């Protein structure tokens, strides 16, 4: 069946559908990862986005039940040059197409993903519609224009877990860590568990007083989707917890800290999505290859440099990738140190969080 991807600026891409049928809206972005499509599909930070894979062949190692990053798929649509109808891997339990059908996610293949990626780089990420139902180009472009987009949109409320829960009970836990769930990836929780932390996940709208009542040794502000400035309740909670508990922010959590410190965020032209982004640690000079997935960024110039130290910089575009409070036990990074999917260069940051909690216990 024919599928059409229509962008709000009038650009049209025609291909063949795989997965579910229907019509979906979202901001179209590109991801430069060569592997890890299952982790990408299940990353809550992709809520509201149609993801284009730049690597040409996707799906050849299939899908398994262990590599998920959340309880369901969150992408609005999936765009590839060619999907593999055959899943050849000893861990594979189903095919990519079967997985998309099962979760009602639209896929399109057979389009020139290089052309689409170059167009997004030139024109920027933009609103789009993916459809197997409407064959009219003008109609689809208008639908894309009329869709809500991401700016000013609180998508955290659509991905956060509604109830508090314990990730995994362990004996003789070293620390109790509260995770404010804005769309947390499972591997963040797995990494904390490796360090013998008792991990308690709470909904994004949990108040600061409720968190302090649990007497945590540390707080982790998780990743998540959408415009950080729109999630005012998390910003306020973060602001109230500054100086009262050690805090580690990842991705959206990093942006929440930036806003709570009085800084500003802005939308990047086409975002950072992939597993090959070079980030420099300004203290050591070491460059890590990192996993990234974000469309917004904290404005470096908006931060109070008397209180906040810049720790990491993106070497592709010099944007802010990490910061630390000069006096309080607080630090954050824009990239994903949990490395799912992607390189393990930045996993040491979980160790730094542990050392920070140990120091301020």
Q: Which residues participate in catalysis according to the annotation?
A: 251, 336, 338
Burial of residue 67 (CB within 10 Å: 0-12, 13-18, 19+) is: middle
Round to whole Å and give the CA distance between 342 and 305.
Answer: 32
Tokens of 136: 């009219």
Cβ-proximal residues to 345 (8 Å cutoff; 6+ apart), any chain: 288, 289, 290, 339
Residue 24 near residue 132, CB atoms below 8 Å: no
Closest CA to 295 of 77, 82, 50: 50
Residue 130 near residue 24, CB atoms below 8 Å: yes
Residue 192 near residue 199, CB atoms below 8 Å: yes
| Residue 267 backbone phi and psi in degrees, to 5 | -85, 130
Tokens of 171: 């004996």
Q: Distances from the Cα of 210 to the Cαs of 166, 182, 202, 206, 294, in angstroms?
A: 16, 16, 10, 7, 29
Reading phi first (left if > 0) and then psi (alpha if -120 to 50, else beta), residue 128 is in beta
Residue 30 near residue 126, CB atoms below 8 Å: no
For residue 332, the SS3 value is strand
Cβ-proximal residues to 222 (8 Å cutoff; 6+ apart), any chain: 179, 180, 181, 182, 183, 184, 185, 188, 250, 251, 252, 253
Round to whole Å and give the CA distance between 303 and 307.
Answer: 8
Round to whole Å and give the CA distance between 39 and 20.
Answer: 19
Residue where the block lists tokens 């800290």: 257
């Amino acid at each position: 069946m024919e599928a059409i991807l229509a962008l709000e600026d009038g650009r049209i891409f025609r291909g063949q559908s795989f997965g579910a049928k229907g019509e979906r809206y979202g901001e179209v972005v590109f991801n430069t990862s060569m592997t890890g499509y299952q982790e990408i599909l299940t990353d809550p930070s992709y809520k509201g986005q149609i993801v284009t894979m730049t690597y040409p062949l996707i799906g050849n190692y299939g899908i398994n039940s262990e590599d998920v990053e959340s309880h369901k798929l969150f992408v609005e649509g999936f765009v590839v040059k060619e999907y593999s109808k055959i899943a050849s891997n000893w861990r594979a339990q189903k095919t990519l197409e079967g997985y998309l059908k099962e979760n009602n996610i639209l896929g399109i293949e057979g389009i020139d993903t290089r052309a689409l990626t170059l167009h997004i780089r030139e024109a920027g990420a933009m609103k789009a519609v993916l459809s197997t139902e409407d064959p009219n180009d003008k109609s689809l472009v208008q639908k894309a224009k009329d869709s809500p987009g991401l700016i000013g949109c609180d998508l955290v409320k659509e991905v956060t877990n509604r109830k508090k829960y314990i990730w995994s009970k362990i004996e003789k836990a070293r620390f109790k860590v509260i995770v404010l769930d804005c769309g947390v990836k499972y591997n963040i929780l797995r990494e904390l568990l490796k360090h013998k932390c008792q991990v308690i996940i709470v909904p994004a709208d949990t108040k600061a007083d409720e968190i302090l009542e649990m007497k945590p040794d540390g707080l982790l502000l998780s990743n998540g989707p959408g415009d950080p400035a729109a999630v005012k309740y998390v910003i306020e909670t973060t602001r109230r917890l500054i100086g009262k508990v050690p805090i580690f922010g990842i991705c959206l959590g990093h942006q929440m800290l930036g806003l709570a410190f009085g800084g500003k965020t802005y939308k990047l032209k086409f975002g950072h999505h992939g597993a090959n982004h070079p980030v420099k640690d300004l203290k050591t000079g070491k460059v890590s290859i990192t996993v990234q997935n974000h469309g917004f960024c904290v404005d470096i110039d908006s931060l109070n440099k008397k209180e906040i130290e810049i720790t990491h910089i993106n070497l592709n575009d010099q944007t802010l990738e990490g910061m630390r409070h000069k006096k309080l036990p607080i630090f954050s990074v824009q990239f994903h140190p949990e490395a799912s999917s992607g390189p393990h260069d930045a996993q040491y940051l979980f160790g730094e969080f542990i050392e920070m909690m140990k120091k301020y216990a």
